[in-house]
Structure formats: structure tokens, C-alpha cells
Chain A
Amino acid sequence: MQEVTGEEGNFTVTLKKQPRYVDASKCTGCGDCARACPVSTPDEFNLGLNNCQAIYRSYPQAIPATFAIKKFDRAPCVRTCPANVNAQGYIQLIKAGKYAEALKVIMEKLPLPGTLGRICPHPCEGNCRRQDLDEPLSICALKRFVADQVDWATLPVPEIDKRDEEVAIIGSGPGGLSCAYQLALMGYRPIIFEAAAEPGGWLRYGVPEYRLPRKVLQREIDYIQRLGVDIRCNSPITPERTVSDLIVRDGYPAVFISVGCQESVHIRVPGIETEGVVWAADYLKEVATTGIAPTAGKKVVVIGGGNVGIDAARIALRKGASQVTIVCLEGPDEMPASPWELEETEKEGIEIRHSWGVKQILPDGGKVKGVWLKKVAQIFDEQGHFAPKYFEDQLDTLDAEIVIMSIGQRSSNLRFLTVADGIELTPRGLIKANPDTLATTRKGVFAGGDVVTGPYVAIAAIADGWEAAVSIDRYLRGVDLKEGRQFPRRLPAGGKWQPIPKNNPTQRRSPMPTLPLEEWGQGFQEICLGLDPEAARAEAGRCLNCGVCSECMECVAACLPGAVNHAQTPEVTELEVGSVILATGFQPFDPRGLNYLYGTHPNVVTTLEFERFLSPGGPFQGHVQRLSDGREPKKIAWILCVGSRSNREGSQAYCSSVCCMTSLKQALIAREHIGQQLDMAIFYMDMRTPRKDFEKYFQRAASQGTRLVRSRIHSVEALGDSGDLQLSYVTEDGKVAAETFDLVVLATGMVISPATRELAETLGVQLSRYNFVEHSCFEPVATSRPGIYACGVVTGPKDIPQSVREGSAAAAAATRQLAAARGSLLKEKVYPPEQEVAGEEPRIGVFICNCGINIGGVADVPAVAEYARSIADVAYVQENLFTCSEDAQTLMIERIREHNLNRVVVAACSPTTHQPIFQDMLRNAGLNKYLFEMANIRNQCTWVHQYNRDAATTKCRDLVNMAVAKARLLQPLNSLTVGVTHKALVVGGGVSGMTTALALADQGYEVDLAEGTDRLGGHALNLHTTWRGEQVKPYLHELIDRVQRHDHIHVHFEATVIEAGGSVGNFTSRLSNGALIRHGVVVLATGAEPYRPNGQYLYRKNPNVFLSLDMDREIATNSRLIKNAQAAAFIQCVGSRIPERPYCSRVCCTSSVDNALKFKEINPEMEVYILYRDMRTYGEREFLYHQALQKGVIFIRYQLEDPPQVEEVDGRMRIRVTDHILKRPLELTVDLLTLASAIVPRDNTQLAEMYKVALNEEGFFSEAHAKIRPVDCATEGIFLAGLCHNPKPLEDSIRLGLAAAARAATLLSKDHLELDAHVSIPIDENCDGCAFCVDGCPFQAITLMEYMKQGQVKKTVEINEILCKGCGSCMATCPKQGIYVAGFSMPQLTAQVEAALGLI
């Protein structure tokens, strides 16, 4: 989200959508692409615990099943290469053994892979990020390897649409060849004019044969010629054939000049004219052309330390020189020649004399006899310009018969240019060309390579050739040379790349095999022999895949539907919306900075990682194992509060709320996976399990052997190489202890990510001190910017049920102002009228899918189709490549009409994912959608029997037969619809009930609110401030006022529900005040009560013993009482967390800590004690606990078995309690005692019975599913809000009130409820009213009834189709076949059974 402008009700949101590089409308989710992808990358969904491919689906069950490609920036090797040759791409293909494909990737840019693979100075390797681990990849050697794997003579020539235009290219060096190659591929007819006798330029005439065998160069030039490139040797540009002539006289529409820099730079030193002085370029060319060298048997001195000088020296050695010495200006580490060349040179025994310049060539009788040298003082001046200076007094001489001068190269062969050509030169004497387009000053003439740049590497000339070809193509097509053109060659430095993996084993690069050293100088045999396949693949395996996707395009080739599109770019869209909801979640705390060895020891993992260990869909299929050795752990420790409840730098002061329960759950599930013998230990400070049914889970975990160790962890240490870990910790009583574990799980806290913080800033949404969205208790899902709402962990740490509820709450809040726009963007689809088929004989159409190769590649689909044709009633059979594709659907509709088909079977993938698509197709063809059956021959056949073609084919046949057997008996079904009464009944007028009522009424729905007492407000009437310090009274009064004044809300006082009937959409309830209400939904918000202990702790015996609620009132109204007290105590868990009430009342810890702080504020001298069992100031409330500790509130932990004893002594209370640290009894005398008493449910049994809603053991209403449906009751149309669901603070009651409104609105907003047609239907003539089915129905949808039939009482059953879920319990129970499920009848299932076993 990039920007949100406008205001509540009228926002414009700018979204940037990152490309997924896969067209979702074409992707079938088959996964062929991932199997072809050579790039392996850490699987983000499994937190990098295993690897996936660069083209991936997040997880197997992901919906939609569409794949996506992970791309970072282009790898540094690709970026560094002057021609941007896709090194990562071909390296990955080499790794996969796909050499031909690798060559294709290289040859997109580089037509001379074997040549450049030998001579390129490979700047790519200099930037390879593998060198941060050990050594860079041997990229150049890999390129050469690929080129050497193919037979060039038979390498196929691609099909090219030829064009007429000829293009003249001057020079057949790498630049000219590259340009010609690219133009030929585009269809042009390139003609190369080469002055020399053979093509190749400097590659042929400059590079010595022992580095580049001529046959390698020749085979690549031959291939370029096979593409249609015409190379005319011995065809120099002369006054008889000028560049201008080529255009004007010979009619070439475009010319490319790439003649290189093939002449030595000449310098003047005394004696340079002496016989025996030769220029390196001339020398190399002479040897290459004639094979004869003047150096045979002579003492040779080479002047110059560049690559050309080195080549000259090594050639001289091979041509029989008696001694070869190189003299250069530079020191050993400054030489311009490539280091590997120097190494080889030294191995060959050539001496290099560093830091000497030539003073004079010494002649003897007209011939060279030696060189007079002077010592170099400096090479470059302060500006870095070449400006050598010498010590004129430090001199030396060297004997020499031949001196080869190699001090640089230049282009002097531009003499062929004439004034008429109109081509301007630069001051350096090079051709002036536009750096982007390579256009010269003459229209239609382009130039590139060394002739433009000065002497440089061959790969740069190749790049220029390619760029010039693009320019020439544009020029010839009349397209602007620059417009819309990408210049990928010039990529910015730096980028986002795959992080360099830690703990990666060192793997040196594969060494290049060479000739035995003694043979090097013997001749011109190539020294480097090339990698063998094994070494090459190992080398390729070292690649770190910096860009993740290597763009090798194997996925494109593998994807038969053509869904992959690497050219996708980010999409920016604007949305007009009325509200915005932030639900950006959290990121786990990174525990690397703590001394728990996380990130360095493989057996220390986080709870989130361990969650993946436990998942059957996780990296180990649910088999818990250690990452170090794959062994199943026998002892696991969980460390709680990692990064939470801590003031350490980098940690968070708040409690992350979920980790206690997560760890308890993981301990029990780990034991289910590993077995009873698993030893689980949880190291914790306070066990915080305050949410519904969590306390019972905690007790269960403890009773099932989870060891709970109240402690502070000191450190985690590795025990040698065993993989085991030692935990050192301090127990509550101060003892230091240590224990060894196989695996340590860190319960890491929840942190708001930097990205969310940035987003909040963009949106202008305020964050709290802990970076959660700032909000009030009264508007828990509203942010500081009106119209922007938030839910989930972004508003504070919370678990799944709370997040789901808050999601619904945010929906209610966000749609409140938008009621008028509801439904305004809906479009209704129109289908043709349904054909009547009931009386017709079945005419079944069978469509069998190949799913690309997913089905057809395993099973014999034509054989299956042939078999299908033989089945009775099958009127038509067709195979499809992809049955789900749009064109296939259109065709199927035609076939249905053409062949008058009245039943359809699709044998393809799974009905779970594809049935709706095909049913829609049926409706478009005018058939009832229930006349359809699928045979799952992919997911449940060819994918799971991939290596058994015969068995898979047989199974496909059986599955098709089964589907046809059922299809034969299919009847059209009509989905039932029922109208909806657009009215809600809310039972309970507390804060949550009122919140629900208001939210629904604001949406425009009528609400009846039944309150049992004579006033609204409920439990909140007793509240004074929230834990955030907000005043409850003003809020409550306003809420009550709004409810009472709202036109759509009808409040019934002193009214309870006394009778109820009906079901979702249409309930009828009678209230005790006589009102009869028809309503579509019910929201139960009946609240709860405080527990009032019977005399316990002197309650009601001493006036200074209060319940928390009463104390709230005293603080608000009677501060004198507090001012006068010397000491006060709180006792926690009064009536909570005890065997008869095994739940936590959740609000009491925060309430007592908050009140303790108020005591300290009113009376700082007061001694304040809190006697607790576990301090449960969860979430951001932890802040209050910290404050209380700082202010000197004393916390004493007591145990359930040893509760505090209170007695009255002289009007004051004396409390005896055992100190948890000293383990000794303490005696406290206080003036005020507050009992943090439980919240207990009201008697909800009657309501529960009337609405068929379940209660839990403690008497709170039960939700349908704790996590997935935490607001709904199991009975549809009934929702829960407030304290009747479980104890909770005011803000949660408001959240739940909003959530219930949103859930209710999903039903109230509909005119009709569409019911599934798969419901039970009684067969009256078979039914004798035995009523077996009535008890068996889990949805209470069946009633027994009697009626008069032919003068006799006939018993039968009646189905409530709204309640029926079509489970079929009735059908299975019925002994008389008196009831069946539509679409799954006994005959239909029997037919399938018989078909499966070959009886039909």
C-alpha cells in the first residue's frame, strides 16, 4: 500500500502489486514448472528449514494453487558482464545436466561461447558473492565446458523469418561477428567485409593458439555462417570501396564498423629503429599468419607487462628463443596482465623484471645487442594519470638480440575512412559513437568495440555488436533509436540478493586440469584442458543463486498451458474505498542477540520453527527430528518469554500473550508424535493461560508429564559435537541448576515489523510505545485516523481466536458508515433456462483430461477414452489437454448441445478445487448442475502412482466407470432457498449486547434488545476506569443514550426469553413481557456475575475486606479510606483456578495491579502486597506490572495447596502466607484487603435449551469452534458476545459485541439463504416411523410425525431442510430404506461400489 488519500467513506488507495510471473488464469497448479526449475532456495513457508524451487507454491494446500516465481535483482555476475550474459542461468542448467539448454542461454547474447570461455578475463568472477564464503565460481570455465559439450557441426539452426535488408559489417572480430549473429537471428542478411584472409580479427591474429585453438574459433564462426551470415575475406575497405560507397553506391541501408585496435602503440626511445626491434602486434600477427618467428634461437626481451606482452613472450619461448625476459614498469602486484596469465608465464620459466623502463636500445653493428634500463620512480602522478618518472642514476643493461615492444595498442586502421564518409573521430583517434545507440555521425552507420572504446575486452565488443544490432533493427524499421529502449547493460550497483547462507560448508572451486607443465613450452597445444562433467556440475552446484530465479526459462518450456511470464512488471492500481483495515500481523522476535545459541546451533529453534516440525505438511512430514543429526529428540526444553517481558536491549517489555499456551500445546503434540517416553520441560516465569479453556489445558499438560520449571534461564551451551545442549538456570529460590536437552525451543515473542511501522507512518496511523496500533478500550479496532481500522496482532499481541474475533469486529466497524453502499458493486450472472431431462434416458458425456502431462504422461489416456466409449449410456467421449481451460469449456458446452448430453462426467483433478468450474459450465449449457460427476484421476491416481503406468491406467478406467455408474442415476436437484427476516434479537443489555445492537442498527437492521433488569449497562455499571485509565461512566452513558434513541432498536426491559423456535433466518421468540418477536438471528449477551465468597478471607465479616469491583468504587469515591490505611493486600484467584472452577478470570491480575498503583498514587507511604499464583498481566498490561514493581508493590506468590490465612486482630487483618523465595511463613498486617474474585456465569441452561446451544462444563456458552468460528454457536444463526462466553475485560466485550454484529450481518444482509441440495429426503412408503433416524441425527433436523392415510394413522418423519447438513446418518441408520440423501442415495452408492469391483 503506497498511499491513502481522502477521508473516511471516500479514500483513494494506491496499491503496488508485485508480479508473480505466472498468469493465474492459465496456471493449473500442476507443478511441472517446479520440477523443471534448477534453482533451489530456502522455503519461506517452512521458515527456511528446507528448500523449494524458485518457482513455487507457498504450501501444498494453498488456494489458489497458482505458482509464483521468486526473483530478486539480477545476480552480480550477470550485471558485471559487459554483455549481461545470464551466467546464473546457464550455471543452473549445467548443474541440472542440461547442457544444450545452457548453451542456448549463453547464446542469447554470446555467439562465441567456446572462444570467450577460454580467453575472457571474466569480470563476473570478480563480483561473485561466493568469494565471501570461500572462492568465486569458475564461471568462465563453465561456459567453456558447455561449449565443448555440443557438436557444433550439427547444432540446430533456429527457424528464422527472413527479411530482405542486407547490412554491411566491417570487421569480423568479436564485435562484427556478434552484430552479424544477432541481425541474422532477426532475419536480416549481414555481410561482413574482412580485410584479412580469414575471419576472427584479433581472436585469430592476436590470441595465441595455446590459449585459443583455432578449431574452436572456427567451429563457432562456421555456426554463425550457417545462420546466413556472409563473411567476405580479403575484402578491405579501400578508396575503391569506402563506407560511403557501401551506402550510396552499393545500397546497404546500414553499416556497422567494428575493426578493433590491432596496431601497437609506437614510442620513441633512442635506438628504436635498430634491426631486431619488433612491435608486438606485428609479431603476433606474423606468427599467426606464417607460423614463422624471428625469435628462434635468440635472446628475447619483451618490453611491457600487459596481456599482449605476455603472449608475445610465451610465443617467443615456444618459437625457440634461447632466453626470454619481460621488462615492465610495474611492480609484481601492479601488472595489467591477468594474474592467472602471469602465474602460467612464471611456471614456464620466463623471467619478469619489475619496475624498469627502457632508456635506450643498445645497437651493435646495426643490430640489437641489448637494452639499457632505468629504474622506475613512479608510474602515475597524483591525479592517477600515467606519467612515469625514473631514477636516472639507477641503470642496468640486459643482453638481447630481439626486443619486442608491447606498450599498448591503438586503432590505426581507420585510414580507410574518407571525408565523404562523414564519420567524426574523437581526439584519441577513435570513432565517435553515441554511448547508448552506437550511432556515428553518419546516418545509418554504427560503430562498436575497441574502435569506439579503445583497447578493451572481447566480451565488451560482443556486447556492442548486440546493442548495434538492436539499433540497426530499429533504424531499419523506422523506430526511434531510444524510445522505450531498455539498457540492461548499465545496471545500478548493489541490489537485493539471496542472503549468503550461514553454516555453508567450504567447497573450493574445481581446479582446471592442464597439460603436464613440461609440455607447456613445447608447442602450441592448449594448456587448459577443460572441466569434466562431474567437476563442472560440482562447480555449478556451488552457485549461491543470488537472484533466486536464474531466468533459465526451463519453467516456460515446461508449462504447457503457457502460464509463465517472466516479463511481468509491478502493477500500480488505485482503489476507491470507504474504509481501510490494517491486518498486517507480526514478525517473530529474532533471538540471535541472546545467549541461547540461536542461529549458531542447529538444535536451538523457535516455537514457530518447531510448529513446522510438528506439521504433517512441514519439512519433515511431522517427524520431529534434530537438525544436527536427524535423530528424534528424547528430551525437549521450551524457554518462555524469549524477547518478551524483558528490559534487555532489543527485547520487548510487553508480554506476547500466546507463548505459554503455544509451548504447552507443542509439548503435548510433540509427545503424540514421539511417544510417551518424551521428556518435556517448560522453563517459565509465570504461566499465563487466561483464555477460554486454556487453564484446563495447562492442568492437562502438567498432569500428563510436562515438567514446569519456574526459573530464569542463564544460558544455553553446546556440549561438544554431541548436538546436545546444556541449560543453566536459576530456580525461584535462588539455586543454580543445569540440565541437558536434545533440543531447545525458544518461545519467541511477537514484534511489529519495520514494514508495518513504515506503513503506519504512510497512513498517518499512530502507534503505541510498543509499536502496536494505538487505540482506546472503547473503540478497540479504530485507529487514530478515522476510517482506518485495525485487527489482529497489529493492535496488540493475541492468539488466533482473538484475532479471528477482532477480524469480524473490524468488519463491523469498517462497514458501519458504508451501509448505503452495501451490494452496490454486485453483479448477477444470468444463465440460460434449465433443460428438462428427468424422463430422458441417460446420455452421458465423458470428458477426460490429460492435464498437460500430469495425467497423460502417466496413464494411457487414449486407452481410458476408448474404454469409456464402451460403457453403457455413454454417448460421447472426448480427451482434452486441459479441461479447465476456457476454450475447453466453450467446446464442452457445444458438445453437450450437439450430442444432446444430459449427464456429464469429467475425469480430471479434484472436485474440491474444480467442481464449481464445471458445474458452472453445465449451467451455461442449460443443464442442472447436479447432473455432474467427477472422476479424480489426477490427485488420487496419476500423481500417486507415477511409476506404474499400467496400474494407473486400470485405476483410471475404474474411476471413470464408477463416475459413470453414479452419473447414470443422477437426478436434477434444486437448491432450496429460504427467506431471511431482517431483524436481530439481542439477549442482554450490557456493553456487548448494546454494542452489537448499535452496530446492526447502524447497518439498517431492526434490533430487539431484551434486558432482564430495568436498566441498560450490565456489569459495566460497576466499572470505573479501564486499565488504560479511561473513564467508563461517560462512555457507558453515551452508549446507553444512543441505544435508547436509535430508531431501529427496540429495548425490552425486565424481559427474558421464555419460548423460542425456528432456525437460521427465521426464528420466533417470546419474551417474558409478552412480546412475540420474529427475527433472523440471535445474539446471546447475557453477561456474568462476580463470585462472592461465603465468609472466606473475612469477606462480609470485616468492613475493610472488599471484592475488586467494590474496591474500584471505593477508589473512585472514598479516597480517605485509602489515605488512612498503612498497609493493604490483594489476594488473587479467589474462586478462580480451583478444582471446582478450573478457569482463570482473566481480568483480576490487571485489576489488582492497577489498583495497587492507585493506592501508591493516593498514599505513597502505604505498604501494598499482592498475593498471587501466576501474575497474568498479559500483553501490553505487563507495563502496569513493571510499574508496580518499580513503585515498591510487593508480590508474594502462594500455592493453591497453601493459601493465605486471614484473621482479624484488633480490627486489622493479619495474613499468614508462605514466602515463595524464602520458603518460610510470613505475617502481614494490613488495613485493607481486596479479594480478586472470580467471574461466574449466570444460569444459562434454559436459554441454551431453547436455542439448542451448548454450554461448557463451567456454564459459559460454547462457540462452534474455538479457533475457526469463535463467535458463532454450533447452531446456525446464533452468535455470542460478552461475558456469557467467558470472563474478559471490557474492551474484549466490545470487540466481541462488534464481531457478533458482523457475523449476524452476513446473514441479515441476504434476502435468501441458499441451502445445499444434498439434504435428506424421506420415502414415505418405506418409512414406518420407527424413529431410529430421529435420535441419530446430529443436527436435530428430523421430527417424527403422524398423519391420516387412507383412514389410518401413518407415522413418518419430516426433515427440516434448513437444519439438515446431508451427513446421511439417517440413511445409514434406517432399516427400511425409508430416507436417503439427495445426490448420495443408496442406489447411487451401491452402483459405485459395484462399478469399482467390476460388477457393472
Chain B
Amino acid sequence: MENFEPRLLAFVCNWCAYGAADLAGVSRLQYPANIRLLRVMCSATVSPHHILRALQSGADGILVAG
């Protein structure tokens, strides 16, 4: 497990979390590169289907931020 690099997928709300992720960039806050952000207009858009599909497809963790 020591070298385990999880593959993470994040669903982020356009109005808050996506903006926060942008701001992290402007402030040059460094974080690990193994996360992919997917923009949605509201975290309510995220269906369980997407979460399950992501886990089936090899994601190790899901973040819904909104």
C-alpha cells in the first residue's frame, strides 16, 4: 500500500467549489496531481449513477463538493 496512488474524481459545483479550486490555483497552493475535477452547475446534478459508474471504472475515491 505504501506506493498506492489513488485515482480520485471530484464533482464540483460551478458556483462554489469550482471557484475555490480556481482560487487555489491563483494562490499557487500545491496539491497532489491524482485528482480530476468535473464541473457541474450544482452538486444536485450528481446522480448516484455517476458515482457508481466512476467507482466501477476504476476510481478509488469520489469527492462531491458544493
| Contacts from A to B (Cβ < 8 Å) | 31, 60-61, 65, 617, 910-913, 936, 938-941, 943-948, 951-952, 954-955, 958-959, 962, 1318, 1338, 1365-1369, 1371-1372, 1381, 1383-1384, 1386, 1389-1390, 1392-1394, 1396-1399
Q: Tell me, in angstroms, the Cα distance from A165 to B19 when the chains sit together.
A: 61
- In the complex formed, the residue of A with least CB distance to B39 is A911
Q: Which residue of the partner chain, among A944, A1318, A1384, A1396, contacts B36 with CB atoms under 8 Å?
A: A1396
Does B3 have its Cβ within 8 Å of any Cβ on chain A? no
Digit string of B5-45 for contact with A (CB within 8 Å is 1, else 0)?
00101000010001101111111111101101111111011
Are A1397 and B18 neighbours in the complex by a CB distance under 8 Å? no
Residues of B within 8 A of A61 (CB): 23, 26
Q: Known contacts A910-B25, A1393-B50; can you find 7 more A-B pairs with CB under 8 A? A: A944-B28, A958-B36, A1383-B41, A1389-B47, A1390-B49, A1393-B9, A1399-B57
Given contacts A952-B33, A954-B33, contact A940 B40 (CB under 8 A): no
Are B25 and A1369 neighbours in the complex by a CB distance under 8 Å? no
Are A1368 and B42 neighbours in the complex by a CB distance under 8 Å? yes
Does B65 have its Cβ within 8 Å of any Cβ on chain A? no
- In the complex formed, the residue of B with least CB distance to A943 is B25
Residues of A within 8 A of B63 (CB): none
> What are 14 A-B contacts defined by CB distance under 8 Å?
A939-B22, A940-B22, A943-B26, A944-B33, A948-B33, A952-B33, A962-B36, A1368-B44, A1369-B45, A1372-B46, A1392-B38, A1394-B53, A1396-B38, A1399-B57
Q: Which residue of the partner chain, among B19, B29, B58, B59, contacts A944 with CB atoms under 8 Å?
A: B29
Q: Which residue of the partner chain, among A941, A952, A1389, contacts B38 with CB atoms under 8 Å?
A: A1389
Are B21 and A939 neighbours in the complex by a CB distance under 8 Å? yes
Are B41 and A1381 neighbours in the complex by a CB distance under 8 Å? yes
- How many A-B pairs have beta carbons closer than 8 Å: the answer is 126
Considering residues A939, A940, A1368, A1384, which has the most beta carbons from chain B within 10 angstroms of its beta carbon?
A940
Are B40 and A1368 neighbours in the complex by a CB distance under 8 Å? yes
Residues of B within 8 A of A958 (CB): 36
Are A939 and B47 neighbours in the complex by a CB distance under 8 Å? no
Considering residues A936, A1318, A1365, A1389, which has the most beta carbons from chain B within 10 angstroms of its beta carbon?
A1389
Q: Tell me, in angstroms, the Cα distance from A938 to B23 when the chains sit together.
A: 11
Q: Which 5 residue pairs spanning A and B have beta carbons closest together? A: A1368-B45, A939-B25, A951-B33, A1367-B42, A943-B25
- In the complex formed, the residue of A with least CB distance to B31 is A944
Are B40 and A1384 neighbours in the complex by a CB distance under 8 Å? yes
- Chain A's nearest CB lies how many Å from the CB of B59? 6
Residues of B within 8 A of A913 (CB): 22
Q: Which residue of the partner chain, among A1366, A1386, A1397, contacts B49 with CB atoms under 8 Å?
A: A1386
Q: Tell me, in angstroms, the Cα distance from A951 to B7 when the chains sit together.
A: 12
Residues of A within 8 A of B53 (CB): 1390, 1393-1394
Are A1372 and B22 neighbours in the complex by a CB distance under 8 Å? no
Residues of A within 8 A of B40 (CB): 1368, 1384, 1389
Q: Which residue of the partner chain, among B18, B31, B46, B57, contacts A1394 with CB atoms under 8 Å?
A: B57
Are B26 and A60 neighbours in the complex by a CB distance under 8 Å? yes
Residues of A within 8 A of B39 (CB): 911, 936
- Chain A's nearest CB lies how many Å from the CB of B22? 4
Residues of B within 8 A of A1390 (CB): 49-50, 53
- In the complex formed, the residue of B with least CB distance to A1368 is B45
Are A1371 and B47 neighbours in the complex by a CB distance under 8 Å? yes
Residues of B within 8 A of A1371 (CB): 45, 47
Given contacts A936-B22, A944-B28, A1393-B9, contact A1384 B45 (CB under 8 A): yes
Q: Tell me, in angstroms, the Cα distance from A632 to B18 when the chains sit together.
A: 30
Q: Which residue of the partner chain, among A910, A1366, A1397, contacts B22 with CB atoms under 8 Å?
A: A910
Residues of A within 8 A of B47 (CB): 1371-1372, 1386, 1389
Considering residues A913, A944, A1372, A1390, which has the most beta carbons from chain B within 10 angstroms of its beta carbon?
A944
Residues of B within 8 A of A1381 (CB): 41, 45
Residues of A within 8 A of B59 (CB): 1396-1397
Q: Which residue of the partner chain, among A954, A959, A1318, A1397, contacts B9 with CB atoms under 8 Å?
A: A1397
Residues of A within 8 A of B44 (CB): 1338, 1367-1369, 1372
Q: Tell me, in angstroms, the Cα distance from A1384 to B39 when the chains sit together.
A: 9
Given contacts A912-B19, A1393-B54, contact A945 B30 (CB under 8 A): yes
Residues of A within 8 A of B36 (CB): 955, 958-959, 962, 1396
- Chain A's nearest CB lies how many Å from the CB of B48? 8
Are B45 and A1367 neighbours in the complex by a CB distance under 8 Å? yes
- Chain B's nearest CB lies how many Å from the CB of A1399? 5
Are A1397 and B57 neighbours in the complex by a CB distance under 8 Å? yes
- In the complex formed, the residue of A with least CB distance to B5 is A951
Q: Tell me, in angstroms, the Cα distance from A285 to B45 when the chains sit together.
A: 90
Given contacts A945-B30, A1372-B47, contact A1397 B54 (CB under 8 A): yes
Residues of B within 8 A of A1365 (CB): 42
Are A1393 and B41 neighbours in the complex by a CB distance under 8 Å? no
- Chain B's nearest CB lies how many Å from the CB of A1117? 57
- In the complex formed, the residue of A with least CB distance to B49 is A1386
Are A946 and B30 neighbours in the complex by a CB distance under 8 Å? yes
Are B38 and A962 neighbours in the complex by a CB distance under 8 Å? yes
Q: Tell me, in angstroms, the Cα distance from A1318 to B54 when the chains sit together.
A: 24
Are B42 and A912 neighbours in the complex by a CB distance under 8 Å? no
Are A951 and B38 neighbours in the complex by a CB distance under 8 Å? no
- Chain B's nearest CB lies how many Å from the CB of A1332? 12
Q: Tell me, in angstroms, the Cα distance from A617 to B41 when the chains sit together.
A: 24
- Chain B's nearest CB lies how many Å from the CB of A1187? 49
- In the complex formed, the residue of A with least CB distance to B36 is A1396
- In the complex formed, the residue of A with least CB distance to B58 is A1397
Q: Tell me, in angstroms, the Cα distance from A1381 to B40 when the chains sit together.
A: 10
Considering residues B26, B40, B42, B48, which has the most beta carbons from chain A within 10 angstroms of its beta carbon?
B26
Considering residues B19, B27, B29, which has the most beta carbons from chain A within 10 angstroms of its beta carbon?
B27
- In the complex formed, the residue of A with least CB distance to B40 is A1384
Given contacts A1397-B7, A1399-B57, contact A1384 B41 (CB under 8 A): yes
Are A951 and B34 neighbours in the complex by a CB distance under 8 Å? yes
Residues of B within 8 A of A954 (CB): 33
Q: Which residue of the partner chain, among B24, B25, B30, contacts A947 with CB atoms under 8 Å?
A: B30
Are A1368 and B28 neighbours in the complex by a CB distance under 8 Å? no
Q: Which residue of the partner chain, among B9, B37, B42, B58, contacts A936 with CB atoms under 8 Å?
A: B37
Q: Tell me, in angstroms, the Cα distance from A1398 to B25 when the chains sit together.
A: 25
Q: Tell me, in angstroms, the Cα distance from A913 to B48 when the chains sit together.
A: 30
Q: Tell me, in angstroms, the Cα distance from A941 to B21 when the chains sit together.
A: 10
Residues of B within 8 A of A1368 (CB): 40-42, 44-46
Q: Tell me, in angstroms, the Cα distance from A960 to B28 when the chains sit together.
A: 21
Residues of B within 8 A of A1383 (CB): 41
Are A1396 and B9 neighbours in the complex by a CB distance under 8 Å? yes
Are A60 and B23 neighbours in the complex by a CB distance under 8 Å? yes
- In the complex formed, the residue of B with least CB distance to A1367 is B42
Are B38 and A938 neighbours in the complex by a CB distance under 8 Å? no
Residues of B within 8 A of A31 (CB): 26
Are A1393 and B38 neighbours in the complex by a CB distance under 8 Å? yes
Residues of B within 8 A of A911 (CB): 39
Q: Tell me, in angstroms, the Cα distance from A1384 to B33 when the chains sit together.
A: 25
- In the complex formed, the residue of B with least CB distance to A59 is B26
B51-66 residues at the A interface, CB under 8 angstroms: 53-54, 57-59
- In the complex formed, the residue of B with least CB distance to A961 is B36
- Chain B's nearest CB lies how many Å from the CB of A1340? 15
- Chain B's nearest CB lies how many Å from the CB of A1208? 61
- Chain A's nearest CB lies how many Å from the CB of B66? 10
Residues of B within 8 A of A962 (CB): 36, 38
- Chain A's nearest CB lies how many Å from the CB of B35? 8
Q: Tell me, in angstroms, the Cα distance from A560 to B14 when the chains sit together.
A: 30
- Chain A's nearest CB lies how many Å from the CB of B45? 3
Given contacts A1369-B42, A1389-B40, A1393-B50, contact A912 B22 (CB under 8 A): yes
- Chain B's nearest CB lies how many Å from the CB of A795? 33
Residues of A within 8 A of B9 (CB): 1393, 1396-1397
- In the complex formed, the residue of A with least CB distance to B51 is A1393
Q: Tell me, in angstroms, the Cα distance from A617 to B59 when the chains sit together.
A: 32
